[in-house]
Amino acid sequence: MDNLIISPIKFDNLEQIFDTENKLYVDQSLWKKEEYAKFFQLPEYLFLGLYHKKELLGWIALDPYTKKGIPMWNITTITVEPLFQGQGLGELLLLATFEILQKQEGNVLELQVSESNSVARKLYDKYGFQEVGRIPEFYDNGNDALVLHASNFKGTEFRNLLKENKKKLLSKHSYQIGKVPVIFLARTF
């Protein structure tokens, strides 16, 4: 697919995001619509959409914070519309996120994934995520959440991995990243 744009989500996409995630993630506790709306109002969050001809195909939400003095980013959701799944668009969102984070503060990307989500786990393995914890029975279906970290993603070795994976993705998709603000990490744990 050509001419994909990754840029901050538009507020008028809120209903689509809410509906799609409620259909896809029926076995998980999800945010309420008001919580999604909060993302659009808080300047420190990055909520990025993957657009093709103004149609929202997927999205990723990032929450910056500092934990024990270490600046980090947490992926709170990464979703591709069902009609477009299996085409590498989730990987494209993740790769673009790493590219964007090269210019941001922080060097650790964190996420939680269901232990039974083998497709997502394979993608995260490809980008060097390591399991650093487990949250027992996190999901409504009783599955544990694996806590994964990608560390040192600004290092030379990781940049080479990004370059190699980007080259493969560009054989299927062309994309550009729109204007994304630089975020200063303010929350501390």
At 30, list the tokens.
């999800």
Whether the pTM exceeds 0.85: the reply is no
The model's pLDDT over 68-108, given as tens digits with 9 standing for 90+, comes to: 888 889 998 898 988 888 999 999 999 988 988 888 888 89
Q: Are 8 and 44 in contact (CB under 8 A)?
A: no
What average pLDDT does the structure give for the chain?
A: 83
Q: Of 26-30, 54-58, 108-112, 177-181, which has the strongest mean pLDDT?
A: 108-112
> Could you tell me how far CA 106 lies from the centroid of its own chain?
15
Element (H, E) at 149: strand 145-151
pLDDT tens digits, one per residue of 60-73: 988 888 888 888 89
